[in-house]
Amino acid sequence: MGLRPGTAYPSAMTASRMLRAALFISLLSLAGTMAAGSAGAAKAADRKIPAAEDPALAAARDAVRVRDFEKAVRIWREAARRGNPRARYRLGVAYRSGRGVEQDNAKAAYWFGKAASSGDPDAQYALGKLYEKGLGVKADRGRAMELIGDAARAGHREARKALARMQRSGARAPSGARSSTTQRDPREALAQAIRLGNTEAARDAIARGAPVNGAPGDTRHWRPLLLAIDRERAEIVDLLLKRRADPNQTSRLGEPALIVAIRSQQRRIVRRLLRAGANANTPSTRGDRPLMEAARLGLAPIVEDLLAAGADPTATLENGISAADLARRFGFEGLAHRLRRAGAPTIERETDADRLAALESNRRNRSREEQEESLPPIVEAARRGDDGLLRQILAAGADASTLDPAGDSALHRAADHGHVEVVRALLEAGVDPDLRGSDETTALMRALASTAKGSDDVVELLLDRGADPHLRDRLSAGMIRYAAEGATSRKLRLLQEAGGSWSDLDTGDALARASSEGRMTAVRALLEVTEKNSNRAAAICGAISAEQDEILDALLGLGLDLDAPCSDGRTPLMAATQANRPEVIDKLLAAGANPDRSTRNGDSPLIAAASRGYLEVVERLLEAGADVDQRGARRMTALMGAASNGRKDVVRLLLENRADRRMRSDSGDTALKLARAAGHEDVATMIEEFKPGWSNWFGTR
């Protein structure tokens, strides 16, 4: 392009400066645009996309709905690899529950950790619970409180409750300090064992000098027996009572241990306290007696236990109210009649208005902290089973879906206690039959778990009103999991007729749990819907592990397959062997159990007993014809197992029963070499110098 004459043009230097300025302005503009884009991208990345917006997670939910857990796991795993926190959390839940994958707490902890690092409250809470219980990770109370505290601050309801419980129990110390304290202080070791439900650790702490009644003058810490009752640790309660724990001790609130146990509705613990000498008439500082507490909760079997132990039915509160009046007030007319026949006096029935006024007055007279922990009037009326009072509260405009401090509604509380008329009134008031409560439970789940009279009718009513039999709780547990506590044939039949179904894994877990908790009615009902032999065997293994001999005897009378493996791969005979219970082994062998049946890893009961030094068990198995030279894992024999662990008496018995000293493991070692390598020179000498006698040539059997 040419230059127009007469036009003034800048010099070369001036033009250069102008060009640089224009370039600088352009770069600033471009940088601002890029920064704005980066900020927008970062802001978008920081936003949490709800799971419902992710098509993959929606597809996984659909797979779960039709119980295709394997497909759901595949979808979650792919989404987890893309970094989706909710997919990582759901994958952790799958590994924790064993649905769609093989159960693995370590992998559950891994995926919960991935999701927790992204700030997912559910994952933080779940990982914290694993650290608290030592599942898949090393137990670490400090880390557990840190994670659960993060979830609580994010608004997680269960995390808030768990954090408050842990703080009340004194679990504030960091894990390292707490661990060292546990090593030094047997009292703290006992408390921690009770919280974790570790009976062996509790036994060890007592052996090291932990006082079973707590330290004299200590009003700050839980007494061991009361802590065990509060945590529903029946086996540890047994242990403490056998070690002479006082069954009549009282809590810091002045409540006898017996009342604390009744409130937890643990009949097994109540009966043990009574057998240990608990006074059935000791009142609390407020004047409540054990019989009144049982009547208020409608616990008819415990009422019978108390009456048999000498509870006085004529005792009354200062206002003249007896146990019979309390039973009637809370809707347990049959129980009230039983108590009146036993001699309990009664007063005139109060009107609905009187009961409501008394309820509101009682709530107003409590401290602010007690008011926060007390139940809203509508929930309290539902728990009592007082449908007249509940209808009056509803007529006054109360919200029928109100939740109590624990996260439960009136519908959940009524379902817990089998109050069918209260449930009917709430449903008529428009309450959703699938309303979620604590741990995302529904009223149907709670009614299935209830053993209260009327719970069968509640299940039927809820299903008639459209309750969904396929729902699962926060931990993905289904209806059959809750049936492990209160299953009856009628409840399960109603569920099936409503379209409910369950997997073999769920059924086996429920059956094992019912068996281990001594719930015979639930065991019989679950056996009717259990088809796989391995799941039926799970009931036997559960009874053996929990020492539920009454359940075991009943199961052995049903002719179940005693050689089918339980869910963990053990046979019932192996479970009894590992528990060192010769009397149970006798029962199983008499019922036809095969003494040579191996577990998944190849070990036989004889190898397991010999390795552990259970001499009496080894004798029983040999007498039953167990193969003394049967090989197990790594081609080890019973003699090799006993020799490598220094079990001298067992080695002698096996040699007397013609165990072959020349056999070698897969590494080429004999029993002699294994004993010597482990430093058991006395055992090695015995093997080397053993001379077979006549009994060895002709056999001892």
Report the mean per-residue pLDDT for the chain. Answer: 80
Q: Are residues 675 and 614 in the same domain?
A: yes
- Residue 356 is predicted with a pLDDT of 55
For 564, which DSSP code?
S
- Residue 294 is predicted with a pLDDT of 92
Q: Are residues 390 and 433 in the same domain?
A: yes
Say yes or no to pLDDT of 367 above 70. no
C-alpha to C-alpha distance for 56 and 64, rounded to whole angstroms: 13
Q: Are residues 411 and 329 in the same domain?
A: no
Q: Does any domain span residue 219?
A: no
Q: Does any domain span residue 308?
A: yes
Are 115 and 88 within 8 A, CB to CB? yes
C-alpha to C-alpha distance for 543 and 564, rounded to whole angstroms: 15
Q: Are residues 385 and 343 in the same domain?
A: no
Place 259 in a pLDDT band, splitting at 50, 70 and 90: very high
Q: Does any domain span residue 687?
A: yes
Among 286, 316, 349, the domain-final residue is: 349
- Residue 626 is predicted with a pLDDT of 92
Mean pLDDT computed over 293-316:
91
Among 349, 374, 407, the domain-final residue is: 349
Place 683 in a pLDDT band, splitting at 50, 70 and 90: very high
C-alpha to C-alpha distance for 670 and 676, rounded to whole angstroms: 10
Mean pLDDT computed over 108-123:
87
Q: Which residues pair with 316 in a beta bridge?
A: 322
Say yes or no to pLDDT of 51 above 80. no
Say yes or no to pLDDT of 16 above 80. no
Q: Does any domain span residue 163?
A: no
- Residue 52 is predicted with a pLDDT of 40
116-167: pLDDT as tens digits:
877 888 899 999 889 888 888 888 777 788 788 778 877 787 787 777 777 6
CB count within 10 Å of CB 340 equals: 18
445-499: pLDDT as tens digits:
999 999 888 999 999 999 999 999 999 988 888 899 898 889 999 999 999 999 9
643-661: pLDDT as tens digits:
999 999 999 999 999 999 9
Place 2 in a pLDDT band, splitting at 50, 70 and 90: very low
Q: Domain of residue 676: give its range.
A: 601-701
Q: Are residues 263 and 320 in the same domain?
A: yes
Q: Does any domain span residue 631?
A: yes
Q: Does any domain span residue 677?
A: yes
Q: Are residues 631 and 697 in the same domain?
A: yes
Q: Does any domain span residue 517?
A: no
Place 241 in a pLDDT band, splitting at 50, 70 and 90: very high
Q: What one-character-per-residue DSSP string does 428-463 give?
A: HTT--TT---GGG--HHHHHHH--STTHHHHHHHHH
For 220, which DSSP code?
S
Are 228 and 258 within 8 A, CB to CB? no
Say yes or no to pLDDT of 519 above 50. yes
Are 297 and 312 within 8 A, CB to CB? no
| Out of 241-245, 328-332, 390-394, 507-511, least confident range | 328-332
Return the percentage of the chain with pLDDT > 90, whole number: 30
The winner for highest mean pLDDT among 217-221, 234-238, 509-513 is 234-238
C-alpha to C-alpha distance for 673 and 663, rounded to whole angstroms: 11
168-193: pLDDT as tens digits:
554 333 333 333 334 447 888 888 88
Domain at 256, CATH number: 1.25.40.20
User: At CB < 8 A and 24+ separation, what contacts does 332-336 make?
Assistant: 332/295, 332/298, 332/300, 332/385, 334/300, 334/453, 335/295, 335/298, 335/300, 335/303, 336/295
Which of 519, 543, 530 minimizes the C-alpha distance to 449?
Answer: 519
Amino acid occupying residue 356: L
Cα Rg of the chain (Å, integer): 33
Place 568 in a pLDDT band, splitting at 50, 70 and 90: low
Mean pLDDT computed over 300-306:
92
Q: Are residues 302 and 388 in the same domain?
A: no
Q: Does any domain span residue 523?
A: no
Longest CA–CA separation in the chain, Å: 136
Question: For residues 371 and 130, which has the higher predicted lDDT (pLDDT)?
Answer: 130
Q: Are residues 385 and 304 in the same domain?
A: no
397-445: pLDDT as tens digits:
889 999 988 889 999 999 998 999 999 999 999 999 999 998 899 999 9
Mean pLDDT computed over 374-392:
83
- Residue 462 is predicted with a pLDDT of 96
Say yes or no to pLDDT of 536 above 70. yes
- Count structural domains, the chain: 3
**Residues with Cβ within 8 Å of residue 593, at least 6 apart in sequence:** 562, 563, 571, 572, 573
Mean pLDDT computed over 201-224:
76
Place 98 in a pLDDT band, splitting at 50, 70 and 90: confident
Say yes or no to pLDDT of 540 above 80. yes
Question: For residues 64 and 224, which has the higher predicted lDDT (pLDDT)?
Answer: 224
Among 295, 320, 349, the domain-final residue is: 349
Which of 481, 657, 372 minimizes the C-alpha distance to 98?
Answer: 481
CB count within 10 Å of CB 564 equals: 18
